Structure 1
Amino acid sequence: MCRKVFLENLRQCQKEAKCAAVGEWARSISNHMYWAAASSNGDGDLVEEKWTSVARHVVNIHEDHGQKFQRCEHEEITRAWIEKGSRAHKEVENIVCSTRLKKDVRQLSPADQTSCLESFHSLVCFFATKQTHFFYESMEARVILAVLHFNENSNRQQARKSDGSLQWQLSYPKYKKGGVVVRPVKEVMTYKYADDLMRTVWCLREGTQATRMPTELSAE
């Protein structure tokens, strides 16, 4: 959530006079937040120093950032740097170094993200749309179906082309506001759980070994 808030602040800032350069750095600063959290092994002090270093990085200063993170780790790069002391630089400093944001950044997870959980919630909405009212039994059944489908397809591998190379696709999510994201193409979804359910229903109908789980039946 803190990432979305500060990113929106940067986008709003670029609309102000003499702050157009902030917009050119918005995406890089956003990526820097991810890197600061992922590369610090949960060390809050180190995450904070890495994060605030971007306020110096944008003006082409790459050392003396802090006690734990003294200098940037990137190789020599060439960019359109923001002028030190300019209004654009001050706005970046105010946003990046705000007390509230620094407090949130210290608590960022070094590895775990909520994208998997968000995907599951989206899948639940597919099986049980919020636009339709369901009674308890129907809602429970639809959620169970969502769980079965998610468990079967959540670990799909990245699809490959005929020559063996990995497949990728361009995506334009709404939150990017026109920005593009490169995402891997996953293998085609499977519905083996449906066959298992149908086999169980048939067993119940025929009065055979219906007490066994679908996975046990499918293994035969």
Structure 2
Amino acid sequence: MAEWTPLMMWVGVLHHVRDEHSWATGCCQHEPLEEGSQEKPWIKQGSAAHKALAGVVLDKRWLGLVKKFLNFRTTSDLESFQNHLLMYSSKRHAYTPFVYKTRTLLAAIDYNKHNRRLPARNLDGQKIYRRSYNKKSKSWSVYTMKEKKQYSYIPDLQRAILARRLGSGKGLPRKQTLRPADPRRLGLLAPEQPPPTAELVSRHVSRGDLGHRDTEDLED
């Protein structure tokens, strides 16, 4: 049998819909199907429906692009980065194009450096979960905490920034602190009290090991 490839999996759809899960050049990757588990009838080979499906699956232009779609099937990583970007460029403030570009680059460095962190675990070796409130759906959910970040690249950035500042002939700006009444001091303000974390974990539907959110700054 030829080596399995993503393209083979895609073309295999034409076999799967006919209840044929093993053929000369490959086989389906799912577990064996139980008798009666398929509610809808299988498509017959040569039927109008099967010919129409073959026209889509075997389209030459599509076959040249399908590899990308097989490897990147969701937008969860992009959504995760967009949420991460808000840590560096909040929607509450306006930035000049140069400042916004700089903050975006810093967010990208941080995200790429720490994107593959392992889940954080307690002393018993169990994963640590935290609760999060979604303002849009008005509901609580749970996510997995990750190991603490290691900002090993920060000293190099600081040295480069300081060297450039000293070479510019301009003084260093004063450090600014948040005002006592600044709303950012309040953190997350959810209109509903969170249910127990254990309850959220029990009813959570896993999506890539409880999502890929960057959550080190969120608390119960």
TM-score, normalised by the number of residues in structure 1: 0.43
Instruction: Flag the structure with more relative contact order, 1 or 2, with Cα contacts below 8 A and sequence separation at least 6.
Output: 2
TM-score, normalised by the number of residues in structure 2: 0.43
